[in-house]
A and B are shown apart, each in its own frame.
Chain A
Amino acid sequence: MFGKKRVAIVGAGLTLFRRRLKETGKELSYEAAKMALDAAGMELRDMKSVVMGTAPDAFDGVHMKGEYLADGAGAYHKPYTRVFVGGGTGVFTPLAGWWHVASGQFDTCLVVAEEKMSSCYPHPQYAFTTIFDPILERPLGMNLIWIFALEMHRYMHKHNIKKEQIALVSVKNKRNALDHPCAQLAANITVEDVLSSEIMAWPVQRLDVSPTSDGAAALVLASEDVAKEVTDNPVWIDGVGWCIDSTLWTNRDLYYPDYVECAARMAYKMAGIKNPPKEIDVAEPYDPFDYKELHHMEGLLLCKKGEAPKLTAEGVTQRDGDLPINPSGGLLGVGNPIAAAGLMKVCEIFWQLRGEAGKRQIPGDPRTGLAQAWGDLMQYGSVIVLRR
């Protein structure tokens, strides 16, 4: 077998996450990309390829929006590709950047993720009505929240989990976000606040859910040679994984995300990780809903099935716990501009491993971290393992 080429992250950039930003999608892409380039001490002309991650065109309201965003993302006159795996896109985008460099075809890759959900007016929920099957599902007047409510309820039923246990995730993440300068929904709330918030689709309540947002994030990737030239402090992409499950989500037992486990195993194998809870120092699993953090911890093999609520209650997943989960504040706290939110998680792990996370910095000199996103009809997992 051919030797694996190592790929490093050498710079990261992020915009504010807000319900509605004045900047266009192109402008947001530019701001994040420019910040990442500045952080790496590099120029656009140093970027040999560009990858864009952005979720449904229906948000921005432009067909082929990857093409539309190209100049904002720095792709003018460059090899440029948009990848798209629903909510999994944000973490998938740096995987695409990884193969641009790991293939030996390019020394550098600029990775940009953008979402301008507010352009879908009056509410981005409209865009979600067309994610469903037109024959079996759309005629029922499906709402996006339904399918997550069905999954959450199944998960609770299978493991006998109480809403109080799940609400702890929302409390933790929104509090963590108080230290994040880009956060949209940082707050000090209590379990009671979550349980008394408006019921959307039982068991999902208002404070179980991340918001809709505008925002962008970016990374600069480099080959080993280039990385060593531009920084003393590269963070390496050591494992990549992705997996999709069947379209027919009503034919699956929703209590466990098999596809996340499959994606994680792919990434762990590449990174040589045998015992994830011991070897992973910090993780950013996808948390658009509070129960998803728990669901994904289990799928990522960070704990046993049904055990995540217990670890959360014991404080293991706090920033100063044994396994800090979503120290950024996650989607629940920082916000959820879909693809940008996934890439924000990778930025967070990058900053944590470099010891640059400021007030959010977890103790203990972390060396290995993981970010994961989830998408499509509760069927997609994308995983990245980073090492210092």
Chain B
Amino acid sequence: MSEKIKHYSGEALKSADIEEGRVPTEKCRPKAKFAWSAGMAMSRFLEELKNGKIIATTCNKCKRIMVPPRIYCENCFKPTDGWTYVKDIGTINTYSVSYLAADATRLKEPIIVAIIDLDGASESMGIIHKLGEIDPKEVKFGMKVKAVWKPPEERVGAITDIKYFKPIKEEKP
């Protein structure tokens, strides 16, 4: 009974209370390490990235070309039917200019992240990656971008084998 309650529990602390040792604390860093099996779909995907190619899987029932690839179609709930390459060119579906690193610390130079719908895949089949060689102010929805790959000898079979995507000029008619 909100209006009848006069007291709500809770004793607020400040960061300084912890930093300056005014309250007792117990610190522990968890040792939680994992090595996930990439599985059938992602293993092939990563192998192909090493070759500088992006591979997708197809479903004959809903006719979708799906990237990232998967061994089952989540729509039809059946195994996918085949593998096919899609282009390393795509369209910006949405983007953000981030001033934050993963740990919420502030970046000096912002990074641009985007969902890129890849050409050759079904509609709205995007992957997330970074944009480069472009001023944040120049980025537009619907802009065409192309993958910039690491040199073959530096690729390890990881999503970061693509350094970033950069804008390409639309072909003139």
Contact = CB atoms under 8 A, between A and B. Distances in A.
B2 A356 contact: yes
Contacts of B127: 136, 250
B62 to A, nearest CB: 13
A201 B130 contact: no
A263 interface: no
A64 interface: no
The main secondary structure of chain B at its interface with chain A is mixed
Given A157-B94, A202-B96, A358-B3, A18 B10 contact: yes
A269 interface: no
Contact of A140 (B10, B94, B113): B113
Nearest to A251: B125
A248 B67 CA distance: 9
A252 B123 CA distance: 9
B101 A143 contact: yes
Interface string A356-368: 1110110000000
A146 B102 CA distance: 9
A150 B114 CA distance: 7
B120 interface: no
Interface in B1-39: 1-5, 8-15, 17-18, 23, 27-28, 30, 34, 36, 38
Given A145-B100, A150-B94, A357 B10 contact: no
B95 to A, nearest CB: 6
A128 to B, nearest CB: 9
A358 B10 contact: no
Nearest to A199: B99
Contact of B159 (A17, A125, A139, A214): A139
Most chain-A Cβ atoms within 10 A of its Cβ — which of B94, B110, B159? Answer: B94
A121 B103 contact: no
A95 B63 CA distance: 37
Contacts of A204: 96
Contacts of B42: 135
Given A141-B101, A254-B94, A135 B10 contact: no
Contacts of A23: 9-11
Interface string B65-104: 0101000001000000000000000000111111111111
A20 interface: yes
Contacts of B101: 141, 143
A149 B98 contact: yes
A197 interface: no
A101 to B, nearest CB: 21
Contacts of A145: 98, 100
A16 B8 CA distance: 6
A203 B9 contact: no
Contacts of A146: 96, 98, 100, 113
A18 B14 CA distance: 10
Interface residues of A, number: 67
A182 B8 contact: yes
A19 B16 CA distance: 12
A215 interface: yes
A304 interface: no
A315 interface: no
Given A22-B13, A140-B130, A123 B124 contact: no
A79 to B, nearest CB: 26
21 contacts: A18-B12, A21-B11, A31-B9, A35-B8, A121-B18, A125-B104, A135-B36, A135-B46, A139-B158, A139-B160, A140-B128, A141-B102, A146-B96, A150-B96, A200-B100, A201-B113, A214-B10, A215-B10, A351-B1, A356-B1, A361-B3
Interface of A: 12, 14-23, 28, 31-32, 35, 39, 61, 63, 118, 121, 123, 125-126, 129, 134-137, 139-143, 145-146, 149-151, 153-154, 157, 181-182, 198-204, 214-215, 246, 248, 250-254, 347, 351, 354, 356-358, 360-361
